[in-house]
Chains A and B, each alone.
Chain A
Amino acid sequence: SAVISQKPSRDICQRGTSLTIQCQVDSQVTMMFWYRQQPGQSLTLIATANQGSEATYESGFVIDKFPISRPNLTFSTLTVSNMSPEDSSIYLCSVVGQVNTEAFFGQGTRLTVV
């Protein structure tokens, strides 16, 4: 299994500002992803964080709004830019283990935009 530390665990932010979420894994992993969970909804994939290259975004998500960095195989950041109340969600990072295809998640960042 993989142990994932995600920070911050929660934050309340003013509209128009940006928040950067960090995800640290205790071992090197090839695949790392960022998800959004809007209130009362299921998880939606935002992007795949690629080490050493630009992230791969899903339909409906763009780099200007959700820039992602992945400088190495154990760390990634997701920035939520120019926030509006509609960005209030739980954001989760996920990795796939090296042994099989099991996915593991960080504890999530609960973001409220006021």
Chain B
Amino acid sequence: GIQVEQSPPDLILQEGANSTLRCNFSDSVNNLQWFHQNPWGQLINLFYIPSGTKQNGRLSATTVATERYSLLYISSSQTTDSGVYFCAAIYSGAGSYQLTFGKGTKLSVIP
């Protein structure tokens, strides 16, 4: 089955600092998503990114599909960025769909 590994598992940042989160995934993945889970448990869609680079405000993501990894960049971090960041790999094809989550990176941004 699909394997998804995230690093680091935990990260503590001073407000204003930058960070990079990594997601490695196995073969047979044809798309990738990044989510932010807020303290209330809600999963917020950040990026849907099979390859290339996308940016949304202070966040950006890059997926290099040929090397099976994706990176999430957070710049000028704020306390509201705290929470758990999940990447999820997607396999879809031949009438099937599979979404596999990594274990997440727990980010704490301190003032």
Query: Are A42 and B104 in contact, with the CB atoms below 8 A?
Result: yes
> Nearest residue in B to A101 (C-beta to C-beta)?
B92
- Chain A residues with a Cβ closer than 8 Å to the other chain, count: 21
- Interface residue stretch chosen among B13-21, B39-47, B53-61, B73-81: B39-47
Residue of B nearest to A48 (CB): B97
Interface of A is mostly: strand
Considering only residues 31-70 of chain B, those with a C-beta below 8 Å from chain A are 31, 33, 35, 40-43, 45, 48
Residue of B nearest to A6 (CB): B42
Asked if A86 lies at the interface with its beta carbon under 8 angstroms from chain B, I say no
B99 interfacial by beta-carbon distance below 8 Å: yes
Chain B, interface size category, equals 20 to 34
How near does chain B come to A40, taking the closest CB pair, in angstroms? 9
Closest approach, in angstroms, between the C-beta of B100 and any C-beta of chain A? 9
> Inside 8 A of B99's CB, which chain A residues have their CB?
33, 45, 94, 103
| B101 near A102: Cβ-Cβ < 8 Å | no
Chain B residues positioned under 8 Å from A92 (CB to CB): 43
